[in-house]
Homo-oligomer: A and B are copies of this chain.
Amino acid sequence: MADEDRCSGFMPGERAALPHAPAGPLAGLTFAAKDLFDVAGHPTTYGNPDWARTHPPAVATATAVLALAEAGARFLGKTKTVELAFGLTGENVWYGTPLNPAAPDRFPGGSSCGSASVVARGEADIALGSDTGGSVRIPASYCGIYGIRPSWGAVSLVGARELAPSFDTAGWFAARASALRRAGEVLLPEGGEGPLGPPLRVQEAWVNAQPAVATALKPALEAVESILGPCVQVSTVPHALPFLYEQFRCIQAEEAWATLGAWIAHESPRFGPGVGERFALARDLEPGKAAAARAFRQRFRRRLLGLLGGGAVMAYPTSPLVAPRLDSSPAEQLWVREITIGVTAIAGMAGLAEVSIPAGRANGAPVGLSLVAAPGRDRALLALAERVAERMGLPV
């Protein structure tokens, strides 16, 4: 593989192709899609050569990909993903780890690493990803672009591979807030507009963040307050974020093994660092743990819907840390994973809509501010993100 291919966000080799409508609401824009979305006539690698080898090429195109092309956006090709979407750094040893153009010595974030990279490099206006445990939000924050994890179930995953279905969502990236919103107008169900507020400052997510990250996000939070009024301080989990991480991990493990375990047990595929270990932990999960976590999840979800039912918007750092360095140790990467998912699991466990805004830099790398709303309020959230961007003087 050429060196250029190894650092590109696009999959190496011939680009998947797809016709697009000559006119439509997204005419003039380009887009790419993570290589877990099917494009008819092309293989879907799911980031792993053994997956590609043991699955026939797609015969139909994923609904979300089709929807963007039908709205006039021009498809540029498939982008790299962490193997089976099970990882947050964005590393892929088979096809190469995409460059993080905003911090070239750091990871791009994953699992939708290629989509984030091509948008951050200005190669595509919009790129589809998927987000189970943070796989759109984290690379958006790491690469300094906009990203949305929509309400669970709001955007079609037909023709896309699954990891943990009760968390899986189809999300997308853009370098401009208006492009993020315009893609939403095509992909999201109708409804959910209207005013949001007040903003809720989720205490534990700010405390959990590195001080430099929290400081860098202050101007963005003030821009939110200038639109929605002063923040109200709240707490989402009485048990704090490490507990939330552990509940998420158990449910994700149970679902990932139920979804992909049969293929793994049957094919014994080769995996890059970390991925195989995570599936082995999923296989060996103590059965009672997931059941207890599912029961907790119901209570957590009810609490969050209560907090957000009236239109309130939570605001907190998308990621508590900037992107880890490419040479960080496995132990450091594991620690980053745990502390990060403690935050991303808030929206994940409750099925909420979350938009990450490229809001500043800390320690020489980008950081994002997340705005999080009740399920179904995606359109309102995208409109709010655009207003915040305007207020901050960011490209809209």
Q: Which residues does A use to contact B, with CB under 8 Å?
A: 38, 55-63, 66-67, 70, 152-153, 156-159, 164-166, 189-191, 254-255, 257-259, 261-266, 283, 287, 291, 294, 298-299, 301-302, 305
- The answer on a CB contact under 8 Å between B258 and A302 is no
- The answer on a CB contact under 8 Å between B190 and A298 is yes
Looking across the interface, which residue of chain B has its beta carbon closest to that of A62? B258
- The answer on a CB contact under 8 Å between A63 and B266 is no
Chain B nearest Cβ from A215, distance in angstroms = 39
Chain B nearest Cβ from A298, distance in angstroms = 5
| The residue from B59, B153, B263 contacting A265, defined by CB atoms under 8 A apart | B59
Complex CA gap A158/B157 in Å reads 14
Complex CA gap A301/B190 in Å reads 9
| The residue from B159, B259, B261 contacting A259, defined by CB atoms under 8 A apart | B159
Complex CA gap A83/B254 in Å reads 27
Looking across the interface, which residue of chain B has its beta carbon closest to that of A306? B191
- The answer on a CB contact under 8 Å between B301 and A258 is no
Chain B residues with CB below 8 A from A57, complex form: 262
- The answer on a CB contact under 8 Å between A153 and B156 is no
- The answer on a CB contact under 8 Å between A60 and B257 is yes
Chain B residues with CB below 8 A from A70, complex form: 291
Known: A166-B156, A291-B66, A291-B70. A60 touches B258 (CB 8 A): yes
Complex CA gap A159/B162 in Å reads 11
Can you list 21 pairs linking A and B with CB atoms under 8 Å apart? A38-B258, A56-B265, A56-B266, A58-B262, A59-B261, A59-B265, A59-B283, A60-B254, A60-B257, A63-B254, A63-B255, A66-B287, A66-B291, A70-B291, A153-B153, A157-B165, A158-B164, A158-B255, A158-B259, A190-B301, A191-B305
| The residue from B153, B287, B301 contacting A152, defined by CB atoms under 8 A apart | B153
Looking across the interface, which residue of chain B has its beta carbon closest to that of A266? B56
- The answer on a CB contact under 8 Å between A191 and B302 is yes
Chain B residues with CB below 8 A from A56, complex form: 262-263, 265-266
- The answer on a CB contact under 8 Å between A59 and B259 is no
- The answer on a CB contact under 8 Å between B59 and A257 is yes
- The answer on a CB contact under 8 Å between A190 and B159 is no
Task: Pick from A57, A60, A191, A261 the residue with the most CB of B within 10 Å.
Answer: A60
- The answer on a CB contact under 8 Å between B166 and A158 is yes
Task: Pick from A59, A164, A261 the residue with the most CB of B within 10 Å.
Answer: A59
| The residue from B63, B67, B153, B283 contacting A258, defined by CB atoms under 8 A apart | B63
| The residue from B158, B258, B262 contacting A165, defined by CB atoms under 8 A apart | B158
- The answer on a CB contact under 8 Å between B165 and A59 is no
Complex CA gap A57/B301 in Å reads 34
Chain B nearest Cβ from A159, distance in angstroms = 4
Chain B residues with CB below 8 A from A258, complex form: 38, 60-63, 158-159
- The answer on a CB contact under 8 Å between B254 and A59 is no
Chain B nearest Cβ from A365, distance in angstroms = 36
